[in-house]
Chains A and B, each alone.
Chain A
Amino acid sequence: GQQLNQSPQSMFIQEGEDVSMNCTSSSIFNTWLWYKQDPGEGPVLLIALYKAGELTSNGRLTAQFGITRKDSFLNISASIPSDVGIYFCAGRSAYSGAGSYQLTFGKGTKLSVIP
């Protein structure tokens, strides 16, 4: 099946710093999404991207759909303590069958913010 490589696996940053994480695939994806999951909860949708090169912001979060369609990036500016959590990339492969809407998830980036 499709696999997404997400990096870094974990990161510790000081409050106020900017954060970058990325997701890559060996095959082309036609949809990228970024989710955040808090302990004991379900993932919360942050940003959805549908076009190669697309750059979309949601508050302090900015995500980009890579030009090659094989990667995506998420940036968080001026981090705050409530940014702590696990961030997942997810996407739909361009080779998924018609009528298939399953999402493939990365393994997550665990973010810790030091006050």
Chain B
Amino acid sequence: NAGVMQNPRHLVRRRGQEARLRCSPMKGHSHVYWYRQLPEEGLKFMVYLQKENIIDESGMPKERFSAEFPKEGPSILRIQQVVRGDSAAYFCASSSGAVKYEQYFGPGTRLTVT
């Protein structure tokens, strides 16, 4: 299966801990996008990365959130000192360079902060 992979699928953290979410793009895709979804809501854009570069982080909170897409390995979305409001489903999507708007999504990571 060459689809977008995310892990873990479920993550429980206590307030103040760090959450690390991983995303491996679809084979042949070098563009990665992170979105957040609250219950009963649509997805909200957070950040867009290419290998080793953050292209657009306009949707990502300035504090506690960071993202990277290293030369080797998956993209990582990191949330430091989590709070209850961070509880949500986080989805990663990938696209080819040629057709960036056709973004293919992974199964998501459901983060619960207790």
Contact = CB atoms under 8 A, between A and B. Distances in A.
Contacts of B44: 105
9 contacts: A33-B103, A35-B105, A41-B108, A88-B42, A99-B56, A100-B56, A101-B95, A103-B43, A108-B42
A25 B33 CA distance: 23
Q: Shortest 10 CB-CB distances between A and B: which pairs?
A: A105-B42, A42-B105, A102-B45, A101-B100, A105-B43, A31-B101, A107-B42, A43-B105, A42-B107, A42-B108
A115 B1 CA distance: 32
A94 interface: no
A90 B40 CA distance: 16
A46 B8 CA distance: 26
Interface string A1-12: 000101000000
B4 to A, nearest CB: 7
Contact of B43 (A31, A43, A48, A101): A43
A13 interface: no
A107 B41 contact: yes
B69 interface: no
Nearest to B108: A42
A33 B101 contact: yes
Interface residues of A, number: 26
A45 interface: yes
B2 to A, nearest CB: 15
A103 B41 contact: no
Contact of A106 (B6, B42, B59): B42
A95 to B, nearest CB: 13
Contacts of A92: 101
Given A88-B42, A88-B43, A107-B40, A102 B59 contact: yes
A107 B102 CA distance: 19
A44 interface: yes
